[in-house]
Amino acid sequence: MHDLQTAVVRDPTISRSALARKVCERLDWKRPTGQFQEAGARKALLLLHRKGALRLPEARPSPPRPTHRPLPAVLSPLEADLSALGPIELVQVTDALTPTYRSLMAHHPLGDKPLCGAQLRYLIRCEAGWLGACAFQSAHFALADRDQFIGWNETARRANLGRAVNHARFLILPSAKVKNLASHVLGKLAQCVPDDWQARYGVRPVLMETFVHPDYGGTCYRAANWLEVGTSAGRRDGVKKRLLLYPLSPDWQAQLRHTQAVAPSQRPAQFAHWAEEEFGALRVWDERLKRRLYHLADDAFNRSEGSLPERAQSYAETMATTRFMKNPKINMQLILAAHREAAVGRCLKHPVVLVPQDTTYLNYSAQQATEGLGPIGTKADGPQGLVLHNAHAFTPTGTPLGVLDASCWARDPGQHGQVRAPDERESLKWIDAYRSLSEIQRAHPETMFVSVCGREGDFFDLLALAAQPGGARLLVRAEASRHMKVSTGSTEAPESLWDLMGRQPCAGVKKQALPRQGSRRAREAHLEVRFSPVTLHPPVSRKSAAPVTCWAVYLNEVGTVPQEEKPVEWMLLATVPTTSLEEACTRADWYAVRWGIEVFHRTLKSGCNIESRQLGAASRIENCLAIDLVVAWRITCLAHYLPLQAEPGYARCALHGLLLGSGMEILVRGGVRQDRSTAHHSAAGPCRRLAGQIGRPSGAQVRWRTRRGNALAGLAETRFRRAGVAAPLPSCPGTSRLAGIPG
């Protein structure tokens, strides 16, 4: 900025275009075609000038645009069939043809007005002469109906807006009365515009948009298979125009929704606060929303069990929270995308990452005034709420790393209990989560991501997708009632998976610790281990599908089993090669990590009280849910770390607003300097006593209860102040006040 202002002072005659070129050269700011992005630089300089951050030289007046009268030669009447015109050509407008284009556009109701952004113009010609003209420009920045139809959030829209083009002008001369000519030209435009636009700007469009004024029928667009998806807002001229779209690629929606995650190497090494680390990558262009999100996340972590007013602790803060949840620029996926980047960065520190996915139901039957809910039980008029399906990352030893994917929706009461097409079934949630994980796997092949599913995820389509190379691995527990037919290299006829694996020789016995669940006591089970490669045959409904090859691991409990319990029996299917007893036992250990997502869901419901939110609409609950998902992860992470171990490669432990680990070299206790290896032991004892522990192992419930009162942060900060040193990382805002420590 200083260099630019110096250049203006030294040479007052310098033009704004010359300054824009300097900016592009300095920043190496180029278009996809390799040319300098001077137009964008001029716009950025003008914004800085208006904000007072930079003083630009006076703008030089532009030369007046010449006016052109319609050419008399093109006005001769033409009435014929389309086939009689011969070949219809689309000629790109060059400098030599610009006068012709402007003369033709004089017949357009809008005239030859300037276009915005990138532009592409055509003349329409046949053997008899010019028939008309058309023009394309950059797509409109924001259109509510278009963005909703595509499925765009602000991040995806900003990333992919350049892949949509706007059909700004379309003219067939009034003298050319040829039936089907306009729709024929639209079809030819759909074929040539993608190549021509890519050749000029280096970006291939996958969608065209246009507007039709209410005074016109738009029949030619409907005949050319354009889709009417809504209307414009009408802010510019007060007239709402019909909005039509035309896809240029079969997978246009997937391409337009795709966003590129920030590489871990591009993330800062240190953060001032845990909320900044988790949400710093939020793709919003209003810093106030970011700061508000940091504050909301911090309040949610400090008072996780409280209602929104309890978290906010004032009327003004409560209203600010409500406005944030209602903000149309904020949505659940936008918030979680930022946390996902932080979680992926943690995942890349490990060679293997397990990602269990599971479904839970959020019951809001008590919130009768909430809009957008749906049935979550077996009856359409039963309990009402939302369905949440998420994928959570863990290390093989159970360390929570973060939420990698989450989707929330309300079921349609009108479709409850009806048979739906395969591409409309709710079971697609497993495939969508797996595909999301596969995108991460392809971007980071150095880490192996394994999707872990329970018996609900045992269906052929998911296994067939996971068998394709390049994606994430899959570990799923087979469902006995599905009567899966399999075969091996030694057996030709398909048979039951259980019958085949029951005949395999026992490779060994594994001791498996079973956690307490409900009335079932925690105990240790002895499991016989059998494994074999198998070929899964498609079900009757998928006769045309190819068989899938994977590895089966069968574990069944032997020995004395308590009378009130059933013997443990796991049938696991894995796309990871399993050729030894050690590898088979590893697959069982991987599946045991799936219990972590059950603890995570319990923490979300009981520790964060997500089912008590009163926000009036499902969309607002989803925004709150996104924050509570991250808070629930942080609480479960704290529950994992506070005992006595800290895993290598991930030494960041949260003690209620005070971060211990990679950003901290010592912990001062009674004036004695201790290294990082003993920091967790020094802090864990007093913290556990304040949480009401008496030496027994504890879980997430004690951790979220410890949040109340902020005792842990107060203890830690008091120790630092008594020792006469500053905390290595700042504590959460408001922590000292609530702990009774003067500022």
Confidence of residue 263 (pLDDT cuts 50, 70, 90): low
Q: What is the mean pLDDT of the chain?
A: 81
At residue 559, what is the residue type? G
Say how many domains are in the chain: 5
Instruction: With beta carbons less than 8 A apart as the criterion, state whether 535 and 549 touch.
Output: yes
The separation between CA 140 and the C-alpha centre of its own chain, rounded to angstroms, equals 23
Does 648 score more than 70 pLDDT? no
Q: What was the pLDDT predicted at 651?
A: 34
Q: Which long-range contacts (CB under 8 A, 24 or more apart) does 173-176 make?
A: 173/74, 173/75, 173/78, 173/104, 173/107, 173/130, 173/131, 173/132, 174/107, 175/74, 175/75, 175/76, 175/77, 175/78, 176/78, 176/131, 176/132
Question: What is the rounded distance in angstroms from the CA atom of residue 376 to the CA atom of residue 359?
Answer: 11
Establish if 57 belongs to a structural domain: no
Residues 166 and 209 in one domain: yes
Q: What is the DSSP letter of 38?
A: H
pLDDT tens-digit map of 595-621 = 999 999 999 999 899 999 999 999 999
Q: Residue 649: which of 396, 347, 400 has the closest Cα?
A: 347
Instruction: With beta carbons less than 8 A apart as the criterion, state whether 569 and 555 touch.
Output: yes
Which of 249-258, 481-490, 541-550 bottoms out in mean pLDDT, i.e. has the lowest? Answer: 481-490
Does 683 score more than 60 pLDDT? no
Beta-bridge mates of residue 363:
385
Establish if 21 belongs to a structural domain: yes
Question: What is the rounded distance in angstroms from the CA atom of residue 578 to the CA atom of residue 673?
Answer: 48
* Percent above pLDDT 90 for the chain: 43
Domain boundary among 593, 614, 632: 593
pLDDT tens-digit map of 465-490 = 999 988 999 999 999 887 778 888 65
83-87, 333-337, 520-524 — which one is most confidently predicted on average?
A: 333-337
Confidence of residue 369 (pLDDT cuts 50, 70, 90): confident
pLDDT tens-digit map of 157-188 = 888 999 999 999 999 998 888 899 999 999 99
| CATH code: domain of residue 552 | 3.90.350.10
Establish if 167 belongs to a structural domain: yes
Instruction: With beta carbons less than 8 A apart as the criterion, state whether 494 and 462 touch.
Output: no
Establish if 420 belongs to a structural domain: no
Q: What was the pLDDT predicted at 647?
A: 39
Q: Helix, strand or coil for residue 207?
A: strand
Can you tell me the mean pLDDT for 631-655?
59
Q: Residue 27: which of 40, 8, 10 has the closest Cα?
A: 40
Q: What was the pLDDT predicted at 354?
A: 97
Q: Look at the pTM and tell me if it is higher than 0.85.
A: no
Q: What was the pLDDT predicted at 17?
A: 84
Does 708 score more than 70 pLDDT? no
Q: What was the pLDDT predicted at 112?
A: 84
Residues 636 and 653 in one domain: no
Instruction: With beta carbons less than 8 A apart as the criterion, state whether 310 and 318 touch.
Output: no
Establish if 64 belongs to a structural domain: no
Which of 322-336, 432-446, 566-580, 653-667 bottoms out in mean pLDDT, i.e. has the lowest? Answer: 653-667
Instruction: With beta carbons less than 8 A apart as the criterion, state whether 261 and 340 touch.
Output: yes
Question: What is the rounded distance in angstroms from the CA atom of residue 643 to the CA atom of residue 632?
Answer: 18
Does 643 score more than 50 pLDDT? no
Does 302 score more than 60 pLDDT? yes
Question: What is the rounded distance in angstroms from the CA atom of residue 213 to the CA atom of residue 234?
Answer: 11
282-286, 443-447, 516-520 — which one is most confidently predicted on average?
A: 443-447
Does 103 score more than 80 pLDDT? yes
Can you tell me the mean pLDDT for 635-654?
53
Q: Residue 626: which of 42, 238, 153, 55 has the closest Cα?
A: 153
Which of 106-120, 444-458, 564-578, 649-663 bottoms out in mean pLDDT, i.e. has the lowest? Answer: 649-663
Q: What was the pLDDT predicted at 592?
A: 92
56 vs 244 pLDDT, higher one: 244
CA-CA distances (angstroms) from residue 382 to 376, 413, 419, 425, 605?
Answer: 7, 10, 19, 20, 20
Quote the tokens at residue 144.
């509510």
Which of 12-21, 344-353, 539-548, 720-729 bottoms out in mean pLDDT, i.e. has the lowest? Answer: 720-729
Residues 570 and 613 in one domain: no
Instruction: With beta carbons less than 8 A apart as the criterion, state whether 652 and 278 touch.
Output: no
740 vs 718 pLDDT, higher one: 718
**Residue 239 sits in which domain range?**
72-257
DSSP-derived secondary structure for 617-657: BHHHHHHHHHHHHHHHHHHHHHHHHSSS---TT--EEEETT
Residues 336 and 381 in one domain: yes
Residues 629 and 657 in one domain: no
Q: What was the pLDDT predicted at 67?
A: 57
Residues 79 and 96 in one domain: yes
Establish if 467 belongs to a structural domain: no
pLDDT tens-digit map of 384-426 = 999 999 999 999 999 999 999 999 999 888 877 777 766 678 8
Question: What is the rounded distance in angstroms from the CA atom of residue 36 to the CA atom of residue 27?
Answer: 10
Residues 368 and 396 in one domain: yes
64 vs 214 pLDDT, higher one: 214
Residues 46 and 78 in one domain: no
Over its C-alpha atoms, the chain yields an Rg (Å, rounded) of: 32
Which of 11-20, 221-230, 575-584, 651-660 bottoms out in mean pLDDT, i.e. has the lowest? Answer: 651-660
Q: What is the DSSP letter of 489?
A: T
Quote the tokens at residue 326.
């209602």
Confidence of residue 678 (pLDDT cuts 50, 70, 90): very low
Does 718 score more than 70 pLDDT? no
Establish if 8 belongs to a structural domain: yes
Instruction: With beta carbons less than 8 A apart as the criterion, state whether 627 and 608 touch.
Output: no
Q: Which residue has the tokens 């009162």?
A: 709
Count how many residues are written for the chain. 743
Q: What is the DSSP letter of 537?
A: P
Establish if 58 belongs to a structural domain: no
Does 138 score more than 80 pLDDT? yes
Residues 131 and 180 in one domain: yes
Q: What was the pLDDT predicted at 113?
A: 86
Q: Helix, strand or coil for residue 126?
A: strand
Residues 507 and 613 in one domain: no
Residues 524 and 672 in one domain: no
Q: What was the pLDDT predicted at 664?
A: 31
pLDDT tens-digit map of 121-130 = 999 998 888 8
Can you tell me the mean pLDDT for 650-672?
34
Confidence of residue 742 (pLDDT cuts 50, 70, 90): very low
Domain boundary among 579, 612, 641: 641
| CATH code: domain of residue 211 | 3.40.630.30
**How many C-beta atoms lie closer than 10 Å to residue 41's C-beta?**
22
Which residues have a Cβ under 8 Å from the Cβ of 692 and sit 6 or more positions away? Answer: 702, 705
Q: What was the pLDDT predicted at 505?
A: 92
Residues 286 and 360 in one domain: yes
Does 213 score more than 90 pLDDT? yes
3 state SS for 124-140: EEECCEEEEEEEEEECC
Q: What was the pLDDT predicted at 669?
A: 32
